[in-house]
Amino acid sequence: MSELVTRQVVKPGLVRLTLNRPDAFNALSEAMLAALQTELDTVACDESIKVVILAATGKAFCAGHDLKEMRAAPSQDYYEGLFKQCTSVMMGIVRLPQPVIAQVEGVATAAGCQLVAMCDLAVSADTARFAVSGVNLGLFCSTPSVALSRNVSRKHALYMLLTGEFIDAQTARDWGLINEVAPAANVAHATEALADKILKKPSPALRMGKRLFYEQVETNIERAYKLAGQTMACNMMDETALEGVQAFIDKRAPKWSN
């Protein structure tokens, strides 16, 4: 499990967690989610860590949930459990005492885009792209919509959710999904430079400030995620979504009855 998410001490106070499933575009399998949860829990207890960078290996930051794994066990109870697990990880980032900076290279789609949105800050390569593309499979990105709608305007969020189209890094910055865009060859350095700015600040202020920020800006995010998870689980049981996901796995066009 530990190999799915690696941990590196970049410098005193700064740790980089790296999604390490490049052959599957860092899709969030149950094991990947569990590994990430374990690392977040470990970091949360380490007062020597002031800032966390969340990065990924390979050509994608994260392609979202593992659709093959999801399709292998088509039951609503399973899907609700899966989305509950994912929500726990996403909320773990919010509850983490340390600020988390996403270092985005490649594509970030569906729950991968959600992961970027849930990080406190984000630096992206100029070649990165973002999408919540579940609707293309007949599956509205309900849980990603919770994070997305808390980062960008409603019109921008619904544009992404209803069309499933990609936006580029510059658009993502303009819309508020990410903070900075850097040349692909320089994104790691740019992310560390942003972390350095935060590392200079006192830990108590960072920890209290982050906790206060989310407490005051969010009034009911857990209920929103619960409802979104139930909706997404119900949606996954719909024949159009099941067909769309299977078509994706089979690398063919979906055959919908409506």
Q: Rounded distance, CA 219 to CA 213, Å?
A: 11
SS3 for 192?
A: helix
Express each pLDDT in 10-42 by its tens digit: 999 999 999 999 999 999 999 999 999 999 999
Instruction: Using the CB atoms, write b or e for 155-164: b if 16+ within 10 Å.
Output: ebbeebbeeb
Strands 107-109 and 60-62, by their bridges, are parallel
- Whole-Å CA distances, 79 to 65, 86, 123, 175, 177: 11, 10, 31, 31, 27
Average pLDDT, the chain: 92
Q: Are the CB atoms for 232 and 143 separated by under 8 Å?
A: yes
Express each pLDDT in 83-113 by its tens digit: 999 999 999 999 999 999 999 999 999 999 9
Express each pLDDT in 138-177 by its tens digit: 999 999 999 999 999 999 999 999 999 999 999 999 999 9
Residue listed under structure tokens 């980062």: 151
pLDDT tops 60 at residue 1:
no
SS3 for 209?
A: helix
* Token digits of residue 250: 């089979």
Domains in the chain, start-ordered, CATH in brackets? 2-187 (3.90.226.10)
Q: Are the CB atoms for 58 and 106 separated by under 8 Å?
A: yes
What does R_g of the chain's alpha carbons equal in angstroms?
18
* Token digits of residue 21: 């499933």
pLDDT band at 235 (very low <50, low <70, confident <90, very high): confident
- List, in sequence order, the alpha helices (H) in the chain: 30-44, 67-71, 76-95, 111-118, 142-148, 154-163, 169-175, 187-199, 203-217, 221-237, 239-250
pLDDT tops 90 at residue 203:
no
Q: What percent of the chain has pLDDT over 90?
A: 77
Return the minimum-mean-pLDDT range out of 71-75, 119-123, 198-202, 239-243: 239-243
